[in-house]
Structure 1
């Protein structure tokens, strides 16, 4: 019997009552996936492309470069934005940066900022992708999402479904497994992710699809599942230095991505493997271009600073503009481990030569931004939706 929500008529309740079928996923810990060998060559090419992308980031910036860390941070934010956009949570680069300064009132920006925290947790925990790591990723995600905090880091204890009405699972396009199956299914998934007899990207694609089929949380399954992808890419040694924009590749064709998840739930794993192969190649190509464009902005800014003495605080702040294209005095003081006075001097030095501009127009709580970096990030995000 459908539950009364206080807003539905008796007729709606009657239509929502009756039998339904919820998913009972096949356990995959020891499953033979040799049927996917037909995709092996394409998957190998995709992995090679990701490795070259990672090498390009190191080569373009250098292991000892102070820019490598900030570049990795902004690519992680870009990936978080794309992953969120798959869930129709859209935000511009400036609003996301403002949210990280607690200066944005945009609900989407706050939610995407929380997704950044989930992605960061995924990379931090990549050496042990287990039940606790999955719960931590989800906790970081929903703790920062207003209204959902009490679900953060907790497997669901209720039925969830996709499509149809919120009143009943009848007619839904997908009804997740009953909640009492979640613990054993997650244990099986963790065991599967520990295997070393599968091509890595095949393993990652299947792990992601299995996670989405389990749908272990009330909300945030898609974003947590895509954070899991990056934990595995880092843990398996494919992308070690930065974050490849794989979700951007999935965002290019969400219809095919969702269709491949449905195919997996119906017993066909090949489409999701192919989707991840395509997304990985796109991530490597577009990510390389993004690194080069951001690097060019930084090079141009360096040229503009040439008149400053080498000891000027602005030089120390310059690399951080990649990961923080919007800054305030407090952030700069924290980044440079310096006083508020020295932080303000660094911002004024950058502003005096046109590297950053003050856009708040306020005497207090002022905000400075690098227009070129913000433009590159917004152009990249916009290109993902252009057919």
Structure 2
């Protein structure tokens, strides 16, 4: 199999008649979600559960098995076996890269190739793939297929590494330019990046991370918190098939339709989820105020939403409430009427680990699905 030769951008072969209905539907769904985000005073805190979920799901597509709860338990001091720890570290790296990228775009800086190198460096730090040139575009020919297969047996061979810099420059120019519709352009940006396969490892995660950054940079999101990995994980087989149809048949229309449908599904799901989070935030604020009568109500609630599994010492540090005061407040919140439970009882020098189950249920979609 010969190396793939990317189609020039912008594409000249699209059937706009096939796409126009979905383009309108996707833009309307995303606009509703973006409008909802505008009403949130502190989206970084309130929507941090969505960021954690994205880090888990995008990494899961690549084979990691850790859950949101396990990641949060790890951060609260719980230890797991070596394989699980490695999965958790990959997820933490992804989350770190995602947050850094959001800050970068939030400062009004463009998406650049140098940003991608920086994110890739973070993604592969101290995890599987750390020997695969973190922070560097590939200089070797690689291919995708069954373990141990030859290039002739591969299911896909990315572009020649000697031509990769030229292809990346063209992709970057397209990304920072304009096309007939921004959401369709986002579909092309993501797929072309995956087909260029510019890194030796981590291409899928970087490509998915680019989606909210691109939409935010183009003004389609009021906050760079729209993650498509839940849809892509649910439809993983079709996701890979649609990308394969581009490389083998040039079927860009089918890919863009799949991507736009994903935006509609994910935006509607996110609207339900964010409304559930906002309602829970207000209910929790009222409960905490009623149970504690504390002047620290807002700090307690924000810290709970930022990390819903925690140790008291870490909670004290993040909330800036003294340990002595906090221990009394946690006792008041850990009652049958209170929002928190003890997930794991402390023993000896090991402290208790607390959880905020209502927020974790929303992260997993349990409360949303029940309504």
Please report the TM-score for the alignment, with normalisation by the length of structure 1. Answer: 0.83
Partner Cα separation in structure 1 for residue 232 and residue 366 of structure 2: 14
Q: Does 1:165 align with 2:147?
A: yes
2:345 is matched with which residue: 361, 366, 371?
361
The residue number in structure 2 matching 1:117 is: 96
1:79/1:243 contact within 8 Å kept: no
- SS of 1:175's equivalent in the other structure is coil
- SS of 1:368's equivalent in the other structure is strand
Higher mean C-alpha deviation, range 306-315 or range 74-83 = 306-315
> Deviation per CA, 1:23-82, whole angstroms, max 9, x where unpaired?
122332x553654453123113202211211212333xx43xx4x322232212222222
> Deviation per CA, 1:137-173, whole angstroms, max 9, x where unpaired?
2122111534526632111233322222325222111
- SS of 2:334's equivalent in the other structure is helix
The residue number in structure 2 matching 1:53 is: 33
Aligned pairs (5 A) from 1:44-123:
44-59=24-39, 62-63=40-41, 66=42, 68-101=43-76, 103-105=78-80, 106=84, 107-123=86-102
Aligned pairs (5 A) from 1:164-313:
164-241=146-223, 243-266=225-248, 267-308=250-291, 310-313=293-296
Partner Cα separation in structure 2 for residue 368 and residue 314 of structure 1: 18
**Structure 2: unaligned runs, 5 residues or longer:** none
2:333/2:340 contact within 8 Å kept: yes
1:92/1:378 contact within 8 Å kept: no
> Deviation per CA, 1:112-157, whole angstroms, max 9, x where unpaired?
2222122223322333111011112212211153452663211123
The residue number in structure 2 matching 1:370 is: 356
1:99/1:113 contact within 8 Å kept: no
Cα distance, 1:233 vs structure 2? 1.2
Distance 1:284 1:162, change over 3 A: same
Partner Cα separation in structure 2 for residue 37 and residue 320 of structure 1: 49
RMSD: 2.6
Runs of 4+ in 1 over 4 A off after TM superposition: 380-383
